[in-house]
Chains A and B, each alone.
Chain A
């Protein structure tokens, strides 16, 4: 069983389109994240949710809107896609509250988004 699964694995689309990436975790974790890894390989936090509530919202364009229907799911919707949005997007989860050894992040396998 995959602990953190995200779909699709690859997403190729035209500029201006709207797309969504889905993420689900079956670990019973309270906290979920979206990270963006650009061409320079820097992994940057975008959002985190704890029990369906937004905790972290980094300086991300408001074209990006996360949605957490329940604590096992955190989807990412992107409006009006731009060339600069091309990157690998990773979903992750961790247990909360933080305690020694419990903050381990479990990552999905990533979604490679290519905007043409």
Chain B
């Protein structure tokens, strides 16, 4: 079983749609959780951290369920500029930041 698993997609949605990505992790000792965004041929960049209580940043909402070892990202009112690959990242006890394979999103006009 991979340490961090994501649905690879691709997700093709129209502008204005709401889309949700899921991620599961295998190491119950994992300490912190993130969503990163990667545009084609660019380095990954932090989108948001994921806190146990859930957190929101504009159109983006992240949720964490430690009991189920599950993380989610919800994007509301999708924009064309949201098209990218979204990477789930889990930080283990050794500060070993591990990435999921990424979920590719394309937002169409």
- In the complex, residue of chain A having the shortest beta-carbon distance to the beta carbon of B33: A103
Number of A-B residue pairs with CB-CB distance less than 8 Å in the complex they form: 64
Q: Does A15 contact B (CB under 8 A)?
A: no
**Bound Cα distance from A109 to B38, whole angstroms:** 11
Cβ contacts under 8 Å, A94 to chain B: 95, 97
> Do A103 and B96 touch (CB < 8 A)?
no
Interface range for B? 20 to 34
Binds A, one of B12-20, B63-71, B72-80, B98-106: B98-106
Query: Which residues on B sit within 8 Å (CB–CB) of A108?
Result: 43
Q: Does A27 count as interface, using CB distance less than 8 angstroms?
A: no
Q: Which of A48, A96, A103, A110 has the most CB of B within 10 A?
A: A103
List chain A positions with a Cβ less than 8 A from chain B: 31, 33, 35, 40-45, 48, 50, 55-56, 90, 92, 94, 96-98, 100-101, 103-105, 107-110
Cβ contacts A to B, 9 pairs, < 8 Å? A41-B101, A43-B99, A55-B95, A56-B96, A103-B32, A103-B97, A105-B89, A108-B43, A110-B43
